[in-house]
Amino acid sequence: MHPIHHENGVVTYAFDSLNALPVAAHVSTRHGGVSPAPWASLNFSVSRGDEPARVTANFARFCEAVRVDPAQPVRCHQIHGTAVAKVEWDDAGSRQTATDALITDALELPLFLVFADCAPILLYDKRQHSLGVCHAGWRGTVNGAGAATLWAMQAAYDTDPADVLVGIGPSIGPASYEVGEEVYRMAQARLPGPDRFFTFPNGPDANPYFDLWQANAAQLVEAGVPPEQIEIAGIDTARNTGDFFSHRAEKGACGLFGMLAWLSPVSSKQ
């Protein structure tokens, strides 16, 4: 990923692998907003104590930076699940209930999700020109949220996994994500070859550390996505709180950042 500094002070990150393709995706940082500490500054959460008017202003600034009408993005009421909503232009401006992933083939319809350590996952089908976005924390990861998004694209758009490019954005990294026994046991039961996603830097009797990045990538590879078509940002939110919100590192006293993505007309980027 690479940073983009916008004229209004907003800073976003974009996936390198999508540069020449007719799809846009921006992951926001905490820069360029109007919220004071502890949500400083580009916070999109209204449930963590920030004032709704500031959150609305922040979203407007983000949309202004990437040239999207703030009334258009489709959002989700995220619950750390695996439900996927297929959306069209009729859904513009809506909030999908109990959903952690969105898919569309509607040109220029913006899809929006929020994060503060969980993994932003983008899936782009370059042949069918369709798009999926997914929010995957540990629950979503061990329950296959990324693969569920891919399967939904297969059902809706006849997506071949071999044609899919994946971006895994900034999220808590494997050196920071200490987890408890519940997470470890669920991963052992549900993930393919789960031991490769855990390390025990403090000894075998201490809590393990979970690699969300590789756990999500591996499930998508198992589903047929070529590994060379998966871009992992490698940006650990818990170690980069100057740029990103981290629920873990900031002990919940933080905001949420977002990912906004949409399909461009194919003819506009040859």
Query: Which two tokens mark 65?
Result: 């930076």
Query: Which two tokens mark 66?
Result: 């990437």
Residue 171 has pLDDT above 90, yes or no: yes
CATH (domain of 62): 3.60.140.10
Structural domain includes residue 34: yes
Interatomic CA distance for residues 47 and 40, integer angstroms: 15
User: CB of 112 within 8 A of CB of 73?
Assistant: yes
User: CB of 46 within 8 A of CB of 58?
Assistant: no
Residue 81: predicted pLDDT:
96
Write the pLDDT tens digit of every residue in 91-107.
Answer: 999 999 999 999 999 99
- Segment 163-187 shows an average pLDDT of 97
Structural domain includes residue 270: no
| Residue 124: φ, ψ to 5° | -120, 120
What's the one-letter identity of residue 252?
G
| 257: helix, strand or coil | strand
C-alpha 88 chain-centroid distance: 20
User: CB of 148 within 8 A of CB of 101?
Assistant: yes
Write the pLDDT tens digit of every residue in 209-241.
Answer: 999 999 999 999 999 999 999 999 999 999 999
Helix axes 212-222, 145-157, angle to 10 degrees: 30
What's the one-letter identity of residue 51?
E
Write the pLDDT tens digit of every residue in 10-62.
Answer: 999 999 999 999 999 999 999 999 999 999 999 999 999 999 999 999 999 99
Residue 270: predicted pLDDT:
41
Interatomic CA distance for residues 14 and 169, integer angstroms: 9
Q: Provide the number of structural domains found in the chain.
A: 1
What percentage of the chain exceeds 90 in pLDDT?
98
Residue 268: predicted pLDDT:
46
Residue 269 has pLDDT above 70, yes or no: no
Structural domain includes residue 167: yes
Give me the torsion for CA of 166, 172, 173, 174, rounded to 10°.
-110
Which domain range does residue 224 map to?
Answer: 2-263
Provide the β-strand partners of residue 114: 258
158: closest CA among 132, 134, 125, 133? Answer: 125
Structural domain includes residue 269: no
Q: Show the DSSP H helices in 46-200 as ranges.
A: 52-66, 138-142, 145-157, 181-190
CA angle (24 as vertex; 20, 26 as ends), nearest 5: 120
What percentage of the chain exceeds 70 in pLDDT?
99
Structural domain includes residue 268: no
Provide the β-strand partners of residue 199: 209
